[in-house]
Amino acid sequence: MTWEILCILVLLVAALFSFALEKIPPDLTALTLLAVLIAAGLLPMDRALNVFSNPAPITVGCMFILSAALEKCGLIDRLAGLFEGLVNLAYARFLFILILVVALLSAFVNNTPVVVIFMPVVLSLARKLKLPASKLLIPLSYASILGGMCTLVGTSTNILVSGIAVQHGVAPFGMFELAWVGLPALAVGAVYLIVIGPKILPVRETLTSILTDEERREYITEAFVQRGSPAVGKTLPQANIHQKNGIRVIDVARFGVSLQSELDKLILQEGDRLILACRPAGMARARKMEGFDFMGEAGLGLEQITAHEGMLVEGMVGPNSTLAGHTITEINFRQRFQMIVVAIHRRGRNVREGIESLRLDFGDTLLMLGTEGIINQLRTSDDILLIDRPPVPAESRQHKAPIVLATLCGVIGAASFGMARIEFAAFVGVVVLFLTQCLRPKEGYLAVQWNILFLIFAMLGMGAAMEYTGTSAFLSSGIVSVVDEFAADAYKPLVMLACIYLLTNLLTEILSNNAAAVIMATIAVGTATTLGVDPKPYFIAVAIAASASFATPIGYQTNTYVYGFGGYRFSDFLKVGIPLNLLCFIIAMIVIPWVWGF
């Protein structure tokens, strides 16, 4: 072992720990790793620059834009709306149709918008079918993952592994080549979720279940402290404003600035504006509070205060949200969105205390209180995704749907029949959408999940460093030598295929699936070289295993989505997902050697 290999291994372990702990974003971890590799001379600059010539990230970015166009023109929304007519079906039949449709869409479209649009529909139908949402949301996510395993463009990891294969002289994946494994996995997965799923899927309640019936019927009202009010100079409890009277102070604004994070120690001043959430029985008490004006006073230059019936709504911090990494206080949430955050659901637990200082992250579910008008305005936001109904586009572009659909079919057809490479076909498709104004360039750029692209570029750099320093060959030789101890020569390629698959699957459950795919694809090349066999089966195994993430809510983005909305616990994914992981593993071990061979 050389010092370069030792350094790479230390950096790799440190990166894995950082990915798992999630103290800093995965893309920042990967970029930091790339910077250290270049600075330490473990990756020469010319090889680092070659990383950016890999077409896979460009293809992934283009597919984000194509998926956004399908969403903007309402095609996915209209298909989801057809489910409203399925409320009379039995649970098993409804679940079968749901899995089939979602998997079909996810085979060609980025599965994140598919799940985002279908979630409100599924939640609504769950209420009509008198089913807990937790019986449908995990199957929804799993269906999108299984569908993505069937085609080259179904998920970013397929495109990424195909790009790495090309760099090592292996033919790129065909558009439907992965369907040899993906379709059997989808069929077996659907049967598993329909037959076994109902018995093991948990019964969980959503975030609103932590509130009483009265709390769900609150009124939002505003008041300000009058001149000479006895409340001046007192704290809220001293002024007899507290929750026991059916009145909750959810914000205080002073000179237009929210003081929500300081309510416990706040000393009231003349002119302070109080935002109150009152239960029906507390409205009368609020109006009788001495020293507070609910009718407005021209002398203070304040507009007339009104009361509105508050509505509770759940929303999630989206993948492209500008709120991620900031606290409620830092973004001045109350003033920016005219909504009050009542509670936050994160990683299986509901948070109602200290939410002002909690840094928001992708997948956080917010329980918010606001008026109907404000909530409707929020539906067009990309920062918070509401789930009481499908997202509402700012403008209708349904007349552009035929162009978008034809463009997507053209991209898939051109790549499938060898008329153009997938990266070029996808790029041309994006240009067509921009020229026909199906999607504005600014909207397209916003649809790209740049954190994923930078993560991919940085991890490709790590893969290049592993090859340059001989780390991938060192690790591959070590794994092969272990296998030599118990496997006959004739079975070594198959045993190594199983090892590569299981290691990839384990990594993708705790890390970013793209990071796991790059690391294991690099090791797969070294393994095939050491054994003297065709590396294609190992690339296929890496692609499938990196997508087949069912056992944790953090391994795949759609799992993270339904984690919060379904009120799930971490253990729910282990119980339902591990058997499905094993089923996909068995299918892969049977199909891959049979179709591709060593």
Quote the pLDDT of residue 167. Answer: 87
Residue 558 domain-assigned (yes or no): yes
Query: Which residues neighbour 392 within 8 Å (Cβ) at sequence distance 6 or greater?
Result: 376, 379, 380
Mean pLDDT to the nearest integer, 551-571: 80
| Residue 280 and residue 242 share a domain | yes
Classify the C-alpha dihedral 396-402-404-405 as positive or negative. positive
Quote the pLDDT of residue 389. Answer: 63
| Residue 491 and residue 433 share a domain | yes
**CATH code, 278:** 3.30.70.1450
Of 64, 9, 11, nearest to 34 (Cα)? Answer: 11
| Residue 241 and residue 119 share a domain | no
| pLDDT, tens only, 232-287 | 888 877 777 765 566 777 778 787 677 766 676 788 888 888 777 766 556 666 66
Q: What one-character-per-residue DSSP string does 283-345 give?
A: HHHHHT-TTEESS--GGGT-PPP-EEE-EEEEEEE-TT-TTTT--TTTTTHHHHHS-EEEEEE
Give the CA distances from residue 258 to residues 21, 241, 329, 592, in Å, rounded to whole numbers and listed in that order.
33, 18, 8, 59
Residue 403 domain-assigned (yes or no): no
Residues 590, 584: Cα–Cα separation, whole Å? 10
Least confident of 3-12, 82-91, 425-434: 82-91
| pLDDT, tens only, 392-438 | 555 557 788 889 889 989 998 998 888 888 889 999 999 999 999 88
| Residue 141 and residue 248 share a domain | no
Round the average pLDDT of the chain to a whole number and report it: 82
Mean pLDDT to the nearest integer, 120-133: 78
Residues 386, 391: Cα–Cα separation, whole Å? 7
| Residue 504 and residue 375 share a domain | no
In the listed set 293, 309, 325, which residue is the last one of a domain according to the structure? Answer: 309
Residue pair 222/293 in contact (Cβ under 8 Å)? The answer is: no
Quote the pLDDT of residue 287. Answer: 64
Residue pair 582/548 in contact (Cβ under 8 Å)? The answer is: no
Mean pLDDT to the nearest integer, 342-352: 68
In the listed set 350, 371, 386, which residue is the last one of a domain according to the structure? Answer: 386
Confidence band of 585 (pLDDT split at 50, 70, 90): very high
| Residue 200 and residue 256 share a domain | no
Give the HSE-up count for residue 309: Cα atoms under 13 Å, Cβ half-sphere: 5
Residue 114 domain-assigned (yes or no): yes
| Residue 94 and residue 12 share a domain | yes
Residues 457, 467: Cα–Cα separation, whole Å? 16
| pLDDT, tens only, 300-337 | 433 434 445 556 777 888 766 778 778 887 887 877 88
| pLDDT, tens only, 526-547 | 888 888 899 999 999 999 999 9
Confidence band of 208 (pLDDT split at 50, 70, 90): low
Provide the number of structural domains found in the chain. 3
Return the structure tokens found at 482.
């272990």
Mapped onto helix, strand or coil, the DSSP state of residue 281 is coil
| pLDDT, tens only, 52-80 | 888 888 888 998 898 888 878 877 777 76
Residue 287 domain-assigned (yes or no): yes
Give the CA distances from residue 42 to residues 8, 39, 468, in Å, rounded to whole numbers and listed in that order.
8, 8, 8
Quote the pLDDT of residue 283. Answer: 60
| Residue 199 and residue 66 share a domain | yes
| Residue 142 and residue 26 share a domain | yes
Q: What one-character-per-residue DSSP string does 77-111 give?
A: HHHHHGGGGGTTS-HHHHHHHHHHHHHHHHTTS-H
Query: Which residues neighbour 543 within 8 Å (Cβ) at sequence distance 6 or greater?
Result: 157, 158, 161, 162, 173, 178, 517
Residue 396 domain-assigned (yes or no): no
Residues 505, 185: Cα–Cα separation, whole Å? 15
| Residue 382 and residue 422 share a domain | no
Residues 517, 542: Cα–Cα separation, whole Å? 6
Query: Which residues neighbour 564 within 8 Å (Cβ) at sequence distance 6 or greater?
Result: 207, 316, 345, 346, 363, 364, 365
Quote the pLDDT of residue 148. Answer: 92
Confidence band of 297 (pLDDT split at 50, 70, 90): very low
Query: Which residues neighbour 23 within 8 Å (Cβ) at sequence distance 6 or greater?
Result: none
Residue count of the chain, please give it.
598
3-state secondary structure 157-226: HHHHHHHHHHHCCCCCCCCCCCHHHHHHHHHHHHHHHHHHHHHHCCCCCCHHHHCCCCCCCCEEEEEEEC
Quote the pLDDT of residue 294. Answer: 63
Of 466, 459, 337, 596, nearest to 52 (Cα)? Answer: 459
The count of other CB atoms within 10 Å of the CB of residue 571 is 10
In the listed set 251, 274, 309, which residue is the last one of a domain according to the structure? Answer: 309
Query: Which residues neighbour 404 within 8 Å (Cβ) at sequence distance 6 or greater?
Result: 69, 70, 73, 75, 433, 438
Residue 401 domain-assigned (yes or no): no
Residue 242 domain-assigned (yes or no): yes
- Residue 522 one-letter amino acid: T
Give the CA distances from residue 507 to residues 477, 517, 520, 554, 579, in Å, rounded to whole numbers and listed in that order.
20, 9, 9, 11, 17
Quote the pLDDT of residue 353. Answer: 64
Least confident of 112-126, 189-203, 570-584: 112-126
Place of tokens 């007519």: 85
Q: What is the residue range of 236's domain? A: 219-309
Residue 104 domain-assigned (yes or no): yes
Return the higher-pLDDT residue of 349 and 330. 330
Quote the pLDDT of residue 432. Answer: 93
| Residue 466 and residue 509 share a domain | yes
Return the higher-pLDDT residue of 344 and 65. 65
| Residue 485 and residue 371 share a domain | no
